[in-house]
Amino acid sequence: MTDHGAVPEFDDAEHPAEPTPDADAPSPEPEAGDEDRDPEPDTGTDEATERASTGADAVVAALSTAGVETVFGVQGGAIMPVYDALYDADDVSHVTMAHEQGAAHAADAYGAVTGDPGVCMATSGPGATNLVTGIADADMDSEPVVALTGQVPSDLVGNDAFQETDTVGVTTPITKSNTFASSADEVGDDVSTAFALANDGRQGPTLVDLPKDVTTTETTVDPSEPVVPDTVSVQERADDDAVEGAADAVAGADRPVILAGGGVVKGGATDELRAFAREHEIPVATTMPGIGAFPEDHDLALEMAGMHGTGYANMATTMTDCLLAVGTRFDDRLTGGVDSFAPDATVVHVDIDPAEISKNVEADHPLVGDASTVLDQLAAAMDASPDTDEWVGQCADWKTEYPMDYAVPAADSDEGDGAPDASAFPDDEPVKPQFVVEAVDAATDDDTVVTTGVGQHQMWACQYWTYTEPRTWVSSHGLGAMGYGLPSAIGARVAADDDQSVVCFDGDGSFLMTCQELVVAARENLDVTVFVLNNEAIGMVKQWQDAFFDGRRMASEYPWVPEFDALAEAFGADGFRIESYDDVPDTVEAALATDGPAVVDVYIDPTEEVYPMVPSGGDNGQFALSEGHL
Amino acid sequence: MSGRYDQQGLPGPAPEERQRPRGRRNAQGIRIDPEAEAEHPPRRTVISALVEHEPGVLARVSGLFSRRQFNIESLTVADTQNDDWARITVVVEEPDPGIDQVEKQLAKVVPVIHVRELEADALARELVVVKVDADRPEEVHAITEMYGGKTLDAGPRTVTVELTGDEQKIDDAIDAFRQFGIREIARTGQTALARGETKTAVVPDHLK
């Protein structure tokens, strides 16, 4: 997929190939399906020119066995043998990223969109440490990722050798499992096991550290199919008695709420959850990773709850007497202070990870198991539906009382087809970011994948886009890693169907952290459209400074940001700019129509803030609608 | 649109105008009677884990304890009857929800075969080596005998003894030795097995 000539020049300078004789490998051009340049026949008749099979070949064979189609990575000294083996791999393509953080985020997003592990690859030392942010992100969000890192030869490990880092040590707290590959005969199985573990039960990142002697040593051992180690077992079905108790609690509730977490999406339980909610007329709130689990245009949808959740989701989750929480770890951004989180609720908690049960919020009815299996069990155990007419009416009233409005009443700006009308807005006023989110939503199909960076733009993308399908919302939820947007859009683009659009909302601060990945999107001609909601600040910090630090805006204003449209063009992408409401419809249309990467620099109202808001550790029911409420 | 255009934030009733729930949860996320304060007090207990004997297991386990801020008193690890296994014994002091988390988080570590909290009647023992001044060697010997210990080294200036026992006995013995002037102490931390027929760890059949 990649052309070696386009590998960024700084890469060689920052990660020079290790000056050892065994690094004297052919120029790494991991081109899939380019048979013209492959001098070696598939069935070797000439033994002299046939390269013997090595640990690196076993690694690549393990990738093939696991069904990997694409690897995101960056070359470097200690990983060169694996890249050399990829040179001959017809079924595994490689996307050369500009920076290893980009590779990890791209792999993470690939995992989020497909549900299968995304793969990232980097060399030892700085290559591996640059992956760390992306691995930590995948760990927090339970995304399946397999990271392969080069390592110095085993006999140099522990000597503080050139580009040596204790990668296993560094990544132990942020992986489900990691391994130092100790022999060429076992390295293929190490990689296979890493795939199995990344995918098994609660998904997450795994890592295999590959010393250069292991990948260059000859071996004839083929990797086996991915299987988890014997010590690992995952409970798929919840205890039947516990299910009966939970069903009684739900059926007997007056004010039930379903809280759909990321586990609903990852567990493929969207259909079961939607059916359950509709059958029993139970309103559904989601966590941020749970966005897409339930269609936000449905009457029962309360949308996202928590710090920047909707007023109605926070009222309902606060006043509920029975919370059916599925696949959520009750993160503090969701719960606010636990003392005031759903304090009247009997909690039914469905999760595949028993350690999440009663970790943050006590589960009255713990149901350990796979989300779809347990929801089927629960559906079968429901003898009656709760009487929710009054409660659903109350939730509807809250929707009316706390509309997700901005600046102008929705009725004035909506022509009835869902598309906001730019002409209803004064042209001398700066563009509201929410309007842009709604305009892009209206201009794209329901299956469009949205990725974001982290900050205000991310919250507006949560709040003002109407998500209806699972795996269309890709973001850095738990880690909150600014810079996630563009590389994740690249990963999502590679993962998504050809007829699916991929849109990235980014902020100027977030975009500046990883904008070099534009070179990848341009080189690979990846059709992604980035909307930089540019307020010349890291706006969320600025908003907090205004609210909690007496407006002392230390290091949060970025009056020196480049012209992002010009920057995009310098990278070989198409650049656009929106400066007023009049620009919005045509520019959005033109940018989306671009066949390849496009960046739209959107000059948004720099005074716009994100509300509702629950301050850290606050009471969700007391969400602020404006700064005066904080 | 004009009325709201310059206004920040969103419309709707202010926080003080809203319905409020009656209940409350404590810091551990447990629903409590708003009238009563119900925090779980920490208690000391022994957690035993049987693990695959492979490099890095101890680092993983100890890293887990520090990362999750579990309060541990001691941690021991050593071989078992099976060369492929090691037993980790941890004394923790946590409220009940914390002890529950220790067990569950340990169980998630890939090389961990089985983990559980041991019963109060488990056989828990610790070894201590105490080095004291040798000014009153007979008295040191008498105390050592009293606690069933053994003298390892008796020199002109120091006497070093070893003692084994449960935590309470070791604490008491150390107190008794203080009168001689303690120079150094090394304690192993507790190791333990369940009593009698009760299994310390249940090994799944496919791993036996």
What's the confidence (pLDDT) of residue A30? 44
Q: Which of helix, strand or coil describes residue A303?
A: strand
Is 70 exceeded by the pLDDT of residue A296?
yes
CB contact under 8 A, A407 and B10: no
Q: Cβ neighbours of residue A624 under 8 Å, at least 6 residues apart?
A: A611, A612, A613, A614, A615, A630, B9, B15
Percent of chain A with pLDDT over 90: 88
A391, A416: one domain: no
Alpha helices of A431-503 — where are they, by DSSP H?
Answer: 433-443, 456-464, 485-495
Residue A78 in domain: yes
A266, A376: one domain: yes
Least confident of A202-211, A421-430, A573-582: A421-430
The 10s digit of each residue's pLDDT in A489-541 is 999 999 999 999 999 999 999 999 999 999 999 999 999 999 999 999 999 99
A377, A442: one domain: no
Show residues of chain B in contact with A201, CB under 8 Å: none
| Token representation of residue A350 | 């469905």
A332, A371: one domain: yes
* Confidence tier at A418 by pLDDT (50, 70, 90): low
What's the confidence (pLDDT) of residue B47? 97
**What DSSP string runs through A549-582?**
STT--TT-B-TT---HHHHHHHHTSEEEEE-SGG
Residue at which a domain ends, from A351, A366, A401: A401
Q: Greater confidence, A539 or A4?
A: A539
What's the confidence (pLDDT) of residue B2? 36
If we measure between CA atoms, which residue out of A559, A502, A509 comes closest to residue A532?
Answer: A509
* Confidence tier at A432 by pLDDT (50, 70, 90): very high
Is A162 a known active-site residue?
Answer: yes
Measured between CB atoms, which of A168, A197, A626 is closest to B8?
A626
What's the confidence (pLDDT) of residue B6? 52
Residue A627 in domain: no
Residue A561's domain is classified under what CATH number? 3.40.50.970
> Among A180, A231, A347, which would you mutate to test the B interface (most chain B Cβ atoms within 10 Å of its Cβ)?
A231
**Partner residues linked to A602 by β-bridges:** A533, A578
Nearest CA in chain B to A193: B110
Q: Which range, A51-55, A553-557, B22-26, has the best average confidence (pLDDT)?
A: A553-557
Residue A500 in domain: yes
**Mean of the pLDDT values across residues A466-485?**
98
Measured between CB atoms, which of A358, A401, A425 is closest to B97?
A358
CATH level 2 (architecture), domain B43-117: 2-Layer Sandwich (3.30)
A481, A555: one domain: yes
Is 50 exceeded by the pLDDT of residue A40?
no
What's the confidence (pLDDT) of residue B206? 86
Show residues of chain B in contact with A621, CB under 8 Å: 15, 18-21
CB contact under 8 A, B1 and A402: no
Contacts 24+ apart (CB under 8 A), A512-515: A512/A558, A512/A561, A513/A453, A513/A482, A513/A483, A514/A99, A514/A101, A514/A102, A514/A105, A514/A483, A514/A484, A514/A485, A514/A486, A514/A487, A515/A486, A515/A564, A515/A567, A515/A571
Whole-prediction pTM? 0.91
**Mean of the pLDDT values across residues A79-103?**
97
**Mean of the pLDDT values across residues A237-246?**
98
Q: Of these residues, A31, A100, A143, A303, which one is catalytic?
A: A100
Show residues of chain A in contact with B70, CB under 8 Å: none
AA letter at A11: D
Is 70 exceeded by the pLDDT of residue A319?
yes
* Confidence tier at A408 by pLDDT (50, 70, 90): low
A501, A597: one domain: yes
What's the confidence (pLDDT) of residue A419? 65
Residue A225 in domain: no
> Strand B191-193 to strand B123-133: parallel, antiparallel, or no bridges (unpaired)?
antiparallel
Sign of the dihedral through C-alpha A623, A625, A626, A629:
negative
A323, A436: one domain: no
Least confident of A28-42, A155-169, A187-201, A431-445: A28-42
The answer, for B68 touching chain A at a CB cutoff of 8 Å, is no
Residue A371's domain is classified under what CATH number? 3.40.50.1220
A387, A425: one domain: no
A106, A176: one domain: yes
Least confident of A170-179, A427-436, A494-503, A592-601: A427-436
Q: Which of helix, strand or coil describes residue A177?
A: strand
Residue A382 in domain: yes
A13, A82: one domain: yes
Show residues of chain B in contact with A404, CB under 8 Å: 10
Q: Of these residues, A162, A235, A281, A404, which one is catalytic?
A: A162
| Token representation of residue A57 | 């070949």
Is 80 exceeded by the pLDDT of residue A608?
yes
Is A163 a known active-site residue?
Answer: yes
The answer, for B207 touching chain A at a CB cutoff of 8 Å, is yes
Nearest chain B Cα distance for residue A78, angstroms: 22
Q: Do the domains at B43-117 and B123-192 have one common CATH topology? A: yes
**Mean of the pLDDT values across residues A297-326?**
98
* Number of neighbouring beta carbons within 10 Å of residue A446: 12
Packed helices A100-114 and A485-495: angle between N→C axes, nearest 10 degrees: 50
- What ipTM does this complex have? 0.89
Nearest CA in chain A to B114: A231
Residue A224 in domain: no
CB pairs < 8 Å spanning A and B: 145
Residue A363 in domain: yes
What's the confidence (pLDDT) of residue B32? 86
User: Is domain B123-192 classified as CATH 2.40.50.140?
Assistant: no
Domain borders along chain B are 43-117, 123-192
**Mean of the pLDDT values across residues A559-585?**
96
The whole-angstrom separation of Cα B180 and Cα B159 is: 10
A369, A506: one domain: no
What's the confidence (pLDDT) of residue A49? 56
* Confidence tier at A602 by pLDDT (50, 70, 90): very high
A514, A588: one domain: yes
Number of domains present in the structure of chain A: 3
Residue A235 in domain: no
- Residue-range definition of the domain harbouring residue A503: 410-611
pLDDT tens-place values along chain B, 208 residues long: 334 545 678 999 999 999 999 999 998 899 987 766 667 889 999 999 999 998 889 999 999 999 999 999 999 999 999 999 999 999 999 999 999 999 999 999 999 999 999 999 999 999 999 999 999 999 999 999 999 999 999 999 999 999 999 999 999 999 999 999 999 999 999 999 999 999 999 998 888 8
CB contact under 8 A, B100 and A311: no
The whole-angstrom separation of Cα A72 and Cα A83 is: 12
* Number of neighbouring beta carbons within 10 Å of residue B175: 9
